[in-house]
Amino acid sequence: MLNTEFLQKRCCTCQKLKYKSEFSKDKKGKYGVRGSCKKCQSKRDSIARQMNPHRRAVQMYHDIKTRLKTEPYYKRNKIKFKFKKEDFIKWAEKHIAIFWLHNPGLCASIDRINEKGHYEHNNVQIISLGENLARRKFGNRDEGHNHVDF
């Protein structure tokens, strides 16, 4: 009888030969495991989560709330979040989806148009994470390339 614990299988994503223990279990899969190894499946799941407008909106909401509580800049400048949670998520979902239509593959990020202003309806926009990081680093808040205006 063949001991299937040490059986190797080729990952259908990375094409590497790996041990069965490196695959998640799946009763329908060959040898009772998935086609992709755990590492490749994790990468794929992470990308899928990031490209889901609702998940990204919820993540943005929690990131903002954490930032407001923990980062001294926001406390010192008394920056506030002036959306209801549900309203922000609904707004962000819509704008993230539109952003991704025009900028496939870019990570959507929330930006305060006026850096001294609050997180409120007329002072936020969705831009690429790269552009947002560059604005922070260089202080250039006038030129927007990968953003969605509303």
Range of lowest pLDDT (16-30, 73-87, 100-114, 133-147): 133-147
pLDDT, position 94: 96
pLDDT, position 83: 96
Nearest to 93 by CA among 55, 130, 119: 55
pLDDT, position 145: 45
- How confident is the model over 60-79, as a mean pLDDT? 94
Q: How far apart are CA 67 and CA 9, in angstroms?
A: 44
- Cβ atoms 144, 126 nearer than 8 A: no
- Cβ atoms 84, 96 nearer than 8 A: no
Side-chain half-sphere CA neighbours of 7 within 13 A: 13
Which amino acid is located at 34 in the chain?
R
Q: At what angle do helices 53-70 and 38-50 cross, to 10 degrees?
A: 80
- Cβ atoms 7, 21 nearer than 8 A: no
- Cβ atoms 41, 35 nearer than 8 A: no
74-117 per-position pLDDT tens digit: 999 999 999 999 999 999 999 999 999 998 878 899 999 998 99
Sole residue written with tokens 């499946």: 41
Confidence of residue 150 (pLDDT cuts 50, 70, 90): very low
